[in-house]
Structure 1
């Protein structure tokens, strides 16, 4: 039976979720988790500890995660496969990977010259629209919404990007998902993991610019943006992540600038990835 995987997880119980890549064997270093649904009264919320976390989600459902059992149970009305791919797999991936000592971020990632570049920003910063524009230009997209790092590698996410609205000039097939609130782009297959190339922080501005971020500032930003900061992180690991290139990408709120944005990224990131 094919194995579903994403975010460094070997996932059982989600065979109907087409956005999760199917492999013959569990990916290297993957964590096994069985996802279940229960339309029953949930357990009481419990704080994050060594073995279990119970959290109430924004829609009122409850997520119950057992570390030693390797189970993730959603309590509430049944969830359709499209929302299990995204966004509901996100909190499972974050908690299980943070338990495993990996860093996770609310971010996306694309591939340039064989390396993964992580795109961070607020929820309205346009991460998904930039990733969709890159995908339309045949740039591989490694992850959207959640980025998981295993040492110096970025792990692939579900094969989709969800948009709030159509993007002019992005000629990719979409389908309505999440009760018709999003347009989903299906992404092609990518490697399960790729080495991290660097960091890009999105923002809005009057002009298009890609400005370097210094190592000290980059370290502070990464420390502040990591998921579940109540769990410990390896200081040496964070220092290594902050030693890679980082940029602030600002651009006007104008769809017409997407082409120029993609060209700018291609021009600047190529020398950044030159052998050191």
Structure 2
């Protein structure tokens, strides 16, 4: 068995998760979550990736990879296909399955990339293709540390909004790697995309406690650089559009209202900004300077 401490939760897994190596932990007794591997025939799950939900159980499958059954936010059972590649199996285990398990627990599981500067975290979110990981990498190049890349738990307890570190590496397109001069940080090619790579990050918070979330920055594409605060309904709409992970699954699980309420609480506690930038990596340095300047004034 493999033991991890991730997102404030203790996890026991029958499969090793190299992507969580920095979150390895000792046996802490009864775990919050168990990841089990089944050699039984996969039940009749949807094989197109869509989510089937019934009560406190949700399930989905990816043809040629396997199926996942998620029970009450406590147990994840994997049914791997015979020809499944272990990397592809882990991709969906730590992506869709992990996110849905968090939803079952009533947690805010947000899609985005985050960095830390001066002890406080900034979350970059936005629609697909807006450059969340690229902006995080550029912020790291300017002195920040990595907190998250892709999927993170945001906690809205009495101490204010907090974000749990979730990654020790970051995924970047080849063009961004060359712009940043990070070719020597590439560790492996991404399983799903030939021109995207996993990069190591010397300064990260993997394995650390949750950090205060100081700002949410919604990324957008435009002709000119701009940085502006968002408030009220505009802020909530932008954050929901930019952070919600697997909205189709939320719909199937009947949890949109719960996640929307969590997002509203976050917007009430954390300043929200929109950073607009041209789709041009040459403007990346200027965008980062505008970001830090705007946050210092905002």
TM-score (norm 1): 0.82
Look up the match of 2:218.
201
Q: Is the 8 A contact 1:20 1:158 kept in 2?
A: no
Distance verdict in 2 for CA 1:18–1:237, change over 3 Å: closer
Whether 1:6 and 2:32 are equivalent positions in the alignment is: no
Aligned equivalents of 1:26, 1:257: Cα separation in 2:
47
Q: Give, in whole Å, the separation in 2 of the partners of 1:128 and 1:101.
A: 26
Q: Counterparts of 1:38-187 in structure 2 under 5 Å? A: 40-45=41-46, 47-57=52-62, 61-67=66-72, 70-76=75-81, 77-81=83-87, 83=88, 86=91, 88-151=93-156, 152-167=161-176, 168-172=178-182, 173-179=185-191, 181=194, 182-187=196-201
SS of residue matched to 2:37: strand
Q: Is the 8 A contact 2:171 2:190 kept in 1?
A: no
Aligned residues of 1:206 and 1:252 also touching (Cα < 8 A): yes
Q: Which runs of 5+ in 2 are unaligned?
A: none
Match of 1:109, SS state, is: strand
* 1:34-88 C-alpha deviation (Å, 9 max, x unpaired): 153659544334722443111134876422222376123143233334x566454
CA distance in 1, matches of 2:4, 2:79: 18
Query: Residues 177 and 88 (structure 1 numbering): CA distance in 2 closer, same or farther, change over 3 Å?
Result: farther
1:96-154 deviation line (CA, Å, top 9, x unaligned): 11111111222121113222222111211111111222223331121111132122211
Gaps of 5+ in 1: none
**Per residue, is there more helix in 1 or in 2?**
2
Residue 22 (structure 2) aligns with? 21
**How big is the alpha-carbon RMSD for the aligned residues of Structure 1 and Structure 2?**
3.0
- CA separation of 1:237/1:19 partners in 2, compared to 1, >3 Å: closer, same or farther? closer
Check conservation: 1:39, 1:75, Cα contact below 8 A. no
How many residue pairs get matched?
Answer: 269
Task: Report if aligned partners of 2:14, 2:35 keep a CA contact under 8 Å in 1.
Answer: yes
Q: Is the 8 A contact 1:3 1:25 kept in 2?
A: yes
* Cα gap change, 1:139 to 1:101, in 2 (>3 Å): same
Runs of 4+ in 1 over 6 A off after TM superposition: none
Q: Offset of 1:215 from its aligned partner? A: 2.3
Deviates more, 1:258-267 or 1:216-225: 216-225
SS of equivalent residue, structure 1 residue 21 = helix
Of 35-44 and 243-252, deviating more is 35-44
Q: 8 Å contact 2:136–2:146 — kept in the other structure?
A: yes
1:255 maps to 2:249: no
Q: Distance in 1 between matches of 2:17 and 2:239?
A: 35
Counterpart CA distance in 2 for 1:13 and 1:192 is 25
Distance 1:22 1:69 in 2: 18
TM-score normalised per structure 2: 0.77
Match of 1:269 in 2: 295
Q: How far apart in 2 are the matches of 1:39 and 1:138?
A: 49
